[in-house]
Amino acid sequence: MAKNRQGQGGFVYSTNPDFKPIDEEQESPIESLPKAAQKLRVVLDKKQRAGKVVTLVTGFVGKPEDLQALGKDLKTKCGSGGSVKEAEILIQGDYREKIIGWLKAWGYSNVK
């Protein structure tokens, strides 16, 4: 039975003499861009959703916690359900104009 080698990222053997495994703890953490530097896009989508309409907010660059917080704020303001998946905020329903207005009021200047 093979032992699990901690800190080697799943690599067992390398022929490269300069090979150094990448530790997940050593990777630089993703920092959230300032609100004014974010390029957010608000679009309406109904693909693969059984004809139901959702509003997607894409283009957020930053920590997943900050994206979750923004998604929660938008869902609360809309009074609607939704989720945050794969760097996208999904809000159930057509709230494009309202979301664009709220994002601009909150300091996100580059919103379309």
Q: Residue 97 domain-assigned?
A: yes
Give residues with Cβ within 8 angstroms of 57, minimum separation 6. 40, 41, 42, 70, 71, 74, 88, 89, 91, 99, 103
| The token pair that represents 21 in the structure block | 């495994």
Assess contact for 54 and 45: CB atoms under 8 A.
yes
Tell me: the pLDDT tens digits for 50-74? 889 999 999 999 999 999 999 999 9
Asked if residue 52 belongs to a domain, the reply is yes
- Number of domains, the chain: 1
67-to-4, 64, 81, 99, 109 alpha-carbon distances in Å: 34, 5, 16, 15, 17
Of the candidates 65, 69, 66, 40, the residue with the CA atom closest to the CA atom of residue 55: 40
Residue 32 lies in a domain: no
Per-residue pLDDT tens listing for the chain (112 residues):
455 555 555 666 778 888 777 665 555 567 888 888 899 999 999 888 888 999 999 999 999 999 999 999 999 999 999 999 988 999 999 999 999 999 999 999 889 8
Residue 30: what pLDDT?
Answer: 74
Tell me whether residue 85 is in a domain.
Answer: yes
Residue 42: CATH number of its domain: 3.30.780.10
21 domain-assigned: no
- Total residue length of the chain: 112
Angle at 12 (CA atoms; ends 11, 14), nearest 5 degrees: 80
Q: Which domain holds residue 74?
A: 37-111
pLDDT of residue 1: 46
In a domain, 20, yes or no: no
